[in-house]
């Protein structure tokens, strides 16, 4: 069931009420059952896959802790192999088959490799990485192996973050699952505020922008450079509001159950560099890659060439994690290249610019933010385009826009009426302002301090979603973008 | 304590504001009902307890029965309380709603709709424009398709996307008052489409669906009995007519005790012209409906010894009859000129 569905609006309060009424010792088993029910609403059979991943990593964790270093490595390898094999089968097999077929034809062998008709299990990339993170942490001795299968299974399958993160760390979440979680009005308040804010981002901003973006990106050849450029800028906000909206709903839901999930976004479009962007965007994934791939490869404590290679590897894998296609791989590699370029140019920038102008001055900061946004948005073309050919066409069309005859008229034929564009734009501005201010002073927490302010805020959010949101019987429900990963 | 009371007050006020604004916006954004059949706003303008006969049914009712002709023929006032693809289940709630403001001597139900599907995909039109009441809610949960229920309870779900079509002034301007319907629920169709031979209508519904429809037919029968209203069940003349065996099965298999008058049984005696009197294989046009209604009205009076009620506004009905005849004359003239 989608977070933005009536079913979830009924499911969540029932779970919350039941959760606080049942005895303490039954809370985790109850949440586990609720989480599996939530997952099985997507596809009942694939719950077995999740159970398999849970069982393998749980067992490997216990065995690894009891074994010596050498045997522990074997259990770690087994856990990685089995889980990544499942991930490969469901997510990458067809892509690998397609790539090998193309390669074979290019080399003149003419072999067609078979493809499979399998559905991608929802959330597999997320829960697999979460479970693998646990296995590695146990192997490293950072945390003790979990003894309770119920608690561990709940850690893997906890429904608010199951299908699209945040990818939680054992050290953050397992202790919370073990602590008593009494009812708290503060948790409900904070959770509900986050939940409604996330819902607004998803239904009012992301889903309205999706109409416009899809109109251009699903048929780029029928659209002008201006339209494609506008759609690309809108996609930056669509994906941000979609994904961060999901995270807010997830964190809000978890908060109402007394569990604090990690922050996944921190005003990413206010980043002053690509490196800064990745410390603010999908934080749980970027820190996962940092801790479990980048550092084991040596990180930055190696020679320069090796450091750059490590960056490329991490971002290549990150691209691949997002999707089994060349566009995602190239997207990841492009970000890797950005990072390398940033490092290469840093000494030059230091010498020519920062020695004369205050690096943290407002003007330079704004310029850096704009440049970073342009670079990130340029990469988003690869992320959103349906194929490499489409992406290349879109780049060509955007770069060929004649500046002397730039006009915004054509954007009105992208499927959204002008009043809807206006309202969505206002919502984007309000959301951005809240995000920017919240970096220093969390605005949403301020709203929670006064009863009347809080309920006034809820009223405005709910009415904005009900009147201006993208939903209804005649609409295709817009799944969260990151559910496809 | 003060904080708890503040919270409760804030919750109640928030919900009240959300619901009020939502329903206000829904009322503004819901499109005007331009479909054929009953307009509840217009029906509400009828003088209370001034209707002698309510005609219930689907499009067959609002195409085939002309209240103006019933009045000319018998002096009885009538109103066609029907909707497109109306099912017996929705019809039951229509009747309950109509009986809140009218106390007719008779209800005439066109029963073709009994031989149809349980859901005919017109709930949004039929139930969506009903006045807000417990009967509307009951219709939503018992007669509407499951996927339509949310939008019927919360119309903003269906119509919120229309907001760009309005200016702020239009949203807040006063809605014009509904006018009375000079045709009293009848839909004027002048086009004539020649029909071929009469055939039995193909069956597109299951026994289970008929059983469900019959359950609501029985509720209509019981309601009329309870209110002391005479009930006439009839099947209007159709070129693709309901199998007489199916009609007979209503009493033999489903236990419906009220007799059904099937006007297709002696089609020849109706005096209808297959070339000129039909709009399509199911519905009469205005010429055919005039002939049929005259006959039907006579049968109704004979069967139930009906006479005009004390609240019938003769001048209003004279005007309505004149209006209908004007429409018919204009249509004839246009057909001749065309």
Q: What would the DSSP string read from start to end of B87-128?
A: -HHHHHHHHHHHTTT---SEEEEEGGGGSS-S--S-HHHHTT
Q: How far apart are the first and last CA of chain B?
A: 80
Q: Which residues of A touch B17 (CB under 8 A)?
A: 459, 463
CB contact under 8 A, B14 and A459: yes
Among all residues of chain A, which has the CA nearest to that of B21? A463
Specify the residue for token string 């398999």: A52
Q: Kindly state the tokens that stand for B311.
A: 């609240």
For chain B, what is the mean pLDDT? 94
* Residues in CB range of A28: below 8 A, 6 or more apart: A148, A150, A151, A154, A177
Which residue, among B3, B4, B7, would best test binding to A if mutated, counting the most A CBs under 10 Å from its CB?
B7
pLDDT value of residue A483: 63
Residues of chain A found within 8 Å of residue B10, distances taken between Cβ atoms: 451-452, 454-455
A477: left (phi over 0), alpha (psi -120 to 50) or beta: beta
Give yes or no for B156 touching A (CB within 8 A): yes
Alpha carbons A69 and A74: distance in angstroms, whole number: 9
Query: What tokens does A416 get?
Result: 């959204």
- What does the longest C-alpha to C-alpha distance in chain B come to? 82
B267-300 pLDDT, tens digit each: 999 999 999 999 999 999 999 999 999 999 999 9
- Residue A322 known to be catalytic: yes
**Mutation choice for A interface testing from B8, B11, B16, B18 by most A CBs within 10 A:** B18
Distance from CA of B160 to the nearest CA of A (A): 5
* CA distances from residue B196 to B236, B239, B240, B274, B275 in whole angstroms, order as listed: 18, 8, 10, 7, 8
For chain B, give the percent of residues with pLDDT over 70.
100
Cβ of B157 within 8 Å of Cβ of A418? The answer is: no
Cβ-contact A338, A375 below 8 angstroms:
yes
Question: For residues A28 and A156, is the Cβ–Cβ distance under 8 A?
Answer: no
Residue of A289 and B35 predicted with greater confidence = A289
CA distances from B70 to B105, B184, B297, B300 (A): 14, 11, 6, 10
Q: Give, for all 485 residues of chain A, the pLDDT tens digit.
A: 888 888 999 999 999 999 999 999 999 999 999 999 999 998 888 899 999 999 999 999 999 988 888 888 999 999 999 999 999 999 898 888 988 898 899 999 888 888 888 888 888 999 999 999 999 999 999 999 999 999 999 999 999 999 888 999 999 999 999 988 889 989 999 999 999 999 999 999 999 999 999 999 999 999 999 999 999 999 999 999 999 999 999 999 999 999 999 999 999 999 999 999 999 999 999 999 999 999 999 998 989 999 999 999 999 999 999 888 899 999 999 999 999 999 999 888 877 777 777 767 888 889 999 999 999 999 999 999 999 999 999 999 999 988 766 666 777 788 888 899 999 999 999 999 999 888 888 888 788 888 999 999 999 999 999 999 998 887 765 566 666 66
Answer whether B90's CB lies under 8 Å from B123's CB.
yes
Which entry of A223, A282, A307, A322 is annotated as an active-site residue? A322
Which of B234, B254, B226, B265 is CA-nearest to residue B109? B234
Closest CA in chain A for residue B152: A473
Contact at 8 Å (CB) between B190 and B285?
Answer: yes
pLDDT recorded at residue A339 = 94
Q: How far is the C-alpha of B159 from the C-alpha of A189, rounded, in Å?
A: 31
- Residue numbers in B near A468 (CB within 8 A): 160, 163
pLDDT of residue A474: 72
CA–CA dist A256, A191 (Å, integer) = 5
Q: What distance in Å separates the CA atoms of residue A14 and residue B146, rounded to the nearest whole number? A: 22
CA distances from B56 to A129, B33, B60 (A): 63, 19, 10
Instruction: Please report residues of A whose CB lies closer than 8 A to that of B166.
Output: none
- When scoring B144, B157, B161 by the number of chain A Cβ atoms within 10 A, the one with the most, hence best to mutate, is B161
Q: So what's the pLDDT on residue A444?
A: 80
- In angstroms, rounded to a whole number, what is the distance separating the alpha carbons of residues A96 and A386? 18
User: Is the Cβ of B200 closer than 8 Å to some Cβ of chain A?
Assistant: no
Q: What is the pLDDT of residues B225-235, one digit of tens each?
A: 999 999 999 99
Decide if A473 touches B, using CB distance below 8 A. yes
B160 touches chain A (CB under 8 A): yes
Could you say which of B6, B10, B25 has the minimum Cβ distance to residue A467? B25
CA distances in angstroms from A52 to A60, A93, A209, A321, B238, listed in the order given? 12, 19, 38, 20, 64
Residues of chain B with C-beta less than 8 angstroms from the C-beta of A466: 18, 22, 25, 156, 160
Chain A residues within 8 A of B148 when measuring between CB atoms:
473
Q: Which residues of A touch B7 (CB under 8 A)?
A: 451
Q: Residue B121: how many CB atoms within 10 A of its CB?
A: 12
Most distant CA pair in chain A, distance = 72
Task: Scan for tokens 């859901």, then name that residue.
Answer: B119
Are B164 and A418 an interchain contact pair (Cβ–Cβ within 8 Å)? Answer: yes
How far apart are the C-alpha atoms of B146 and A377, rounded to whole Å? Answer: 43
User: Cβ A455–B13 below 8 Å, yes or no?
Assistant: yes
Tokens 């055919």 appear where?
A: B288
Chain B nearest-CA residue for A457: B14
CB of B178 within 8 A of CB of B218? no
B314 at A interface, C-beta within 8 A: no
Q: What is the pLDDT of residue A205?
A: 95
Burial pattern B194-225, b for ≥16 Cβ within 10 A else e, equals: ebeeeeebeeeeeeebbebbbebbbbbbebbe
User: Could you tell me if A249 and A198 are in contact, meaning their C-beta atoms sit under 8 angstroms apart?
Assistant: yes
Q: Which contacts of B71-74 are long-range, i.e. CB under 8 A and separated by 24 or more positions?
A: B71/B317, B71/B320, B71/B321, B72/B321, B73/B293, B73/B294, B73/B297, B73/B298, B74/B297, B74/B298, B74/B300, B74/B301, B74/B306, B74/B308
Judge whether B8 is closer than 8 Å to chain A, CB to CB. no
B148 touches chain A (CB under 8 A): yes
Q: What angle do helix axes A362-384 and A388-399 make, rounded to 10 degrees? A: 140
pTM: 0.88
> In this complex, is the C-beta atom of B282 within 8 Å of any C-beta atom belonging to chain A?
no
B151 interfacial to chain A (CB closer than 8 Å): yes
B40 touches chain A (CB under 8 A): no
Q: What is the pLDDT of residues B319-335, one digit of tens each?
A: 999 999 999 999 999 98
Residue B273: its pLDDT value, please? 94
Other C-beta atoms lying within 10 Å of the C-beta of residue A6:
12
A237 near A426, Cβ under 8 Å? no
DSSP secondary structure letters along B249-282: HHHHTT---S-EEETTTTGGGGT--TTTSBSSSS
Nearest Cα residue in chain B from A6: B150
Cα B326 from Cα B333, distance rounded (Å): 10
Cβ within 8 Å of B, A 416-435: 417-420
Pick the closest to residue B102 from B59, B50, B55 (CA basis). B50
Phi–psi pair at B14, nearest 5 degrees = -60, -50
Nearest residue in B to A453, CA atom: B10
Under an 8 A CB cutoff, do A473 and B158 touch? Answer: yes
Instruction: Report residue A206 as tokens.
Output: 């992301």
Residue of B12, B14, B21 to mutate when probing chain A, most A C-beta within 10 A: B14
Separation between Cα atoms, residue A341 and residue B293, nearest integer Å: 86
Q: Does B144 touch chain A (CB under 8 A)?
A: no
**Residues A185-216 as b or e (16 or more Cβ within 10 Å = b):** eebbbbbbbbbbbbbbbbbbbbbbbbbbbbbb
| Beta carbons of A202 and A429 less than 8 angstroms apart | no
CA atoms within 13 A on the CB side of B168: 1
């Amino acid at each position: 069931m989608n977070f933005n569905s009536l079913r979830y609006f009924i499911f969540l309060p029932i779970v919350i009420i039941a959760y606080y009424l049942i005895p303490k010792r039954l809370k985790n088993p109850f949440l586990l059952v609720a989480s599996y029910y939530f997952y099985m609403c997507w596809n009942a059979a694939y719950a077995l896959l999740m159970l398999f991943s849970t069982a393998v990593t749980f067992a490997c964790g216990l065995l690894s802790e009891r074994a010596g270093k050498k045997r522990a490595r074997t259990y770690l390898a087994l856990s990685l192999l089995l889980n990544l094999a499942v991930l490969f089968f469901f997510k990458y097999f067809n892509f690998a088959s397609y790539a090998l077929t193309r390669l074979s034809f290019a080399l003149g062998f003419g072999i067609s490799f078979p493809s499979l008709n399998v559905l991608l299990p929802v959330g597999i990339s997320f829960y697999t990485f979460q479970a693998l993170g646990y296995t590695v942490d146990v192997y490293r001795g950072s945390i003790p192996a979990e003894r309770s299968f119920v608690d561990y299974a709940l850690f893997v399958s906890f429904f608010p973050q199951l299908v699209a993160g945040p990818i939680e760390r054992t050290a953050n979440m397992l202790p919370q699952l073990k602590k008593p979680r009494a009812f708290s009005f503060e948790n409900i308040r904070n959770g509900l505020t986050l939940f409604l804010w996330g819902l607004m981002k998803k239904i009012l901003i992301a889903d309205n922008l999706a109409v416009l973006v899809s109109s251009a990106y699903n048929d780029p050849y029928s659209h002008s450079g201006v339209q494609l450029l506008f759609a690309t800028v809108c996609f930056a906000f669509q994906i941000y509001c979609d994904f961060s909206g999901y995270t807010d709903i997830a964190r809000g839901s978890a908060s109402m159950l007394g569990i604090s999930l990690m922050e996944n976004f921190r005003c990413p479009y206010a980043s002053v560099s690509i490196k800064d962007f990745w410390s603010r965007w999908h934080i749980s994934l970027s820190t996962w890659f940092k801790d479990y791939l980048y550092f084991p490869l040596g990180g930055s404590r190696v020679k320069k060439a090796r450091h750059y290679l490590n960056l490329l590897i991490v971002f290549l894998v990150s691209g691949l994690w997002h999707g089994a296609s060349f566009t995602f791989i190239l997207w990841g590699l492009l970000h890797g290249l950005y990072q390398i370029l940033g490092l290469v140019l840093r000494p030059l920038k230091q010498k020519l610019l920062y020695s004369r102008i205050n690096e943290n001055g407002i003007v330079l900061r704004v310029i850096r933010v704009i440049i970073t946004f342009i670079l990130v948005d340029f990469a988003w073309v690869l992320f959103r385009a349906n194929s490499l050919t489409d992406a290349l066409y879109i780049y060509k069309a955007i770069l060929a826009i004649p500046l002397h005859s730039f006009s915004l008229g054509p954007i009105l034929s992208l499927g959204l009426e002008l009043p809807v564009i206006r309202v969505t734009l206002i919502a984007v501005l309000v959301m951005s302002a809240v995000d920017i201010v919240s970096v220093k002073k969390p605005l949403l927490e301020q709203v929670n301090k006064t009863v009347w302010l809080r309920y006034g805020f809820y009223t405005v959010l709910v009415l904005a979603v009900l009147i201006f949101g993208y939903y209804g019987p005649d609409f295709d429900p817009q799944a969260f973008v990151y559910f496809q990963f | 304590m003060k904080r708890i009371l503040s919270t409760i007050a804030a919750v109640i006020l928030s919900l009240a504001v959300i619901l009020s604004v939502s329903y206000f916006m829904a009322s503004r954004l819901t499109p005007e009902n331009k479909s054929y059949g009953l307009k509840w706003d217009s029906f509400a303008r009828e003088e209370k307890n001034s209707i002698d006969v309510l005609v219930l049914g689907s499009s067959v009712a609002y195409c085939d029965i002309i209240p103006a002709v019933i009045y000319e023929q018998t002096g009885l006032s009538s109103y066609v309380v029907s909707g497109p693809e109306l099912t017996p289940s929705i019809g039951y709630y229509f009747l309950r709603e109509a009986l809140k403001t009218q106390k007719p001597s008779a209800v005439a139900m066109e029963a073709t709709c009994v031989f149809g599907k349980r859901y005919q995909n017109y709930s949004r039109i039929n139930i969506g424009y009903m006045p807000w009441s417990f009967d509307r809610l009951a219709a939503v949960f018992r007669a509407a398709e499951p996927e339509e229920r949310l939008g019927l309870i919360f119309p903003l779900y269906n119509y919120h996307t229309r907001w760009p079509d309005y200016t702020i002034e239009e949203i807040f301007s006063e809605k014009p008052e509904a006018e009375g319907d000079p045709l009293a629920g009848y839909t004027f169709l002048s086009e004539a489409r020649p029909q071929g031979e009469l055939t039995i209508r193909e069956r597109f519904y299951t026994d289970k669906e008929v059983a469900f429809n019959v359950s609501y037919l029985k509720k209509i029968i019981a309601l009329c009995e309870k209110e002391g209203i005479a009930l006439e069940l009839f099947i209007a003349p159709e070129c693709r007519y309901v199998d007489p065996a199916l009609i007979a099965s209503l009493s033999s298999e489903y236990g419906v005790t009220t007799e059904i008058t099937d006007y297709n049984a002696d089609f020849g005696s109706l005096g209808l012209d297959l070339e000129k009197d039909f709009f399509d294989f199911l519905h009469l046009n205005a010429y055919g409906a005039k002939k049929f209604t005259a006959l039907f009205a006579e049968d109704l009076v004979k069967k139930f010894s009906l006479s005009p009620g004390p609240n019938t506004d003769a001048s209003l009905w004279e005007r309505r009859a004149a209006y209908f005849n004007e429409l018919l004359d204009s249509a004839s003239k246009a057909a001749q000129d065309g």
